[in-house]
Structure 1
Amino acid sequence: MSDTMRGGIATCDKAKDLLEAVEAKYREFEKAEMGDLMTTLTSLKLYENKSVREHILKLVETAAKLKDLEVPVDVALIVHMALTSLPSKFDQLNVSYNTQKEKWTLDDLISICTQEARIKRNEIYGTVNLVHGDKGKKAAYQFGAYKKNYNNKKKKFFKSLLAMGMKW
């Protein structure tokens, strides 16, 4: 027993009284741990650099620790907490789950989420600009020529808006 714990327990004549006092101190620690685990379960979020599988397994581990502390957590709640803790790019998956009649098990959730993460990782985001010009026209790629061409297009655009009767 640590000195800190020993100092927090009153001296007792009987071993039974001492064990009851120690048990009371540990009961307080269980309540604090229970609060920490509940906070973890409700506030855990998936960040971009983590694996979806590891994230869901962390939620399952937290629920198992709560169960050991006699706070049972239903599988449906874990599935719901896992889906709400995913980033916004998984919103379509959340909508899909909510529209289905059947409930997912934890194994279903893990496999579906990892598959969705793999699909999201393989998607290409962004745009590609294609520039095509004649080989002999070097000036077309220079900034001055581009700027002149851009200004002419801009003037034509605004003239067409004015011709249609739009005002600023």
Structure 2
Amino acid sequence: MYIKAKVNAGICGSIEHHKNVREFLKAIDKQFVTSNKALASTLIMKFTSLKLTGIRGVREHIMEMRDIVAQLKKLEVEMSESFLVHFILNTLPPQYVPFKISYNTHKDKWSINELMTMCVQEEGRLMMEQGESAMLVTPKKEKKGKENLKLVRKGSIKFLPNLTLRKTKIVSFIKRKDM
């Protein structure tokens, strides 16, 4: 059979000989059947472990969580929209605490689309409030005034051992022309 030449040898070796292509493909399918329960469990673990770590990317975060819920719904694991809104609010970082308080004090319940719209607006407000910042890494000086720049290897990560992080504001000066 021509199709056997195109299938990986590791897969063909574990399948009985079939004269019919249709039977051969069904035998391959039987080897790669996945359990819906295992897939649902994996999706639930991924859903519960998602957290937004920074201010940016709130729309993508909500869309990813909504996508996982849609996949779970296909597997007959359903969540109410109200639960999803509250769960998403709990995955937001501490910068969104005033936003969460605002949601909790209002009587109206938001849909996922309304939540996404409000979160994107809040993200824009937080970005304006935060301003621009830069991370500056400088090595600590040794006693003799020499910089210690040896790379230390731990596991598979290389890093400079005596570095300090400082967050600095970027200030721009605009030269005004006298009128």
Which TM-score bucket, shorter chain as reference?
0.5 to 0.7
Q: Paired residue for 1:110?
A: 116
Compare CA radii of gyration and give the structure with the larger one: 1
Q: Paired residue for 2:42?
A: 36
> Could you tell me how far apart the structure 2 residues matched to 1:102 and 1:79 are?
12
Q: Quick one: structure 1 residues 51 and 85, their matched pair in 2 at CA, closer, same or farther if it must change by over 3 Å?
A: same
Q: Paired residue for 2:51?
A: 45
Query: CA RMSD for the aligned pairs?
Result: 3.1
Q: How do 1:123-142 residues align onto structure 2 when only pairs under 5 Å count?
A: 123-124=129-130
> Could you tell me how far apart the structure 2 residues matched to 1:36 and 1:6 are?
30
Q: Paired residue for 1:64?
A: 70
Which amino acid is 1:85 matched to? T
Cα distance, 1:102 vs structure 2: 1.7
Q: Between Structure 1 and Structure 2, which shows a larger proportion of strand residues?
A: 2
Q: Percent identity?
A: 32
1:24-58 C-alpha deviation (Å, 9 max, x unpaired): x7352x22211111111111001227410000000
Which amino acid is 1:36 matched to? T
1:103-138 C-alpha deviation (Å, 9 max, x unpaired): 10011100100000100000147xxxxxxxxxxxxx
Q: Quick one: structure 1 residues 106 and 4, their matched pair in 2 at CA, closer, same or farther if it must change by over 3 Å?
A: same
Cα distance, 1:92 vs structure 2: 1.0
Q: Paired residue for 1:22?
A: 30
Q: TM-score, normalised by structure 1?
A: 0.58
Q: Quick one: structure 1 residues 51 and 4, their matched pair in 2 at CA, closer, same or farther if it must change by over 3 Å?
A: same
Which amino acid is 1:22 matched to? K
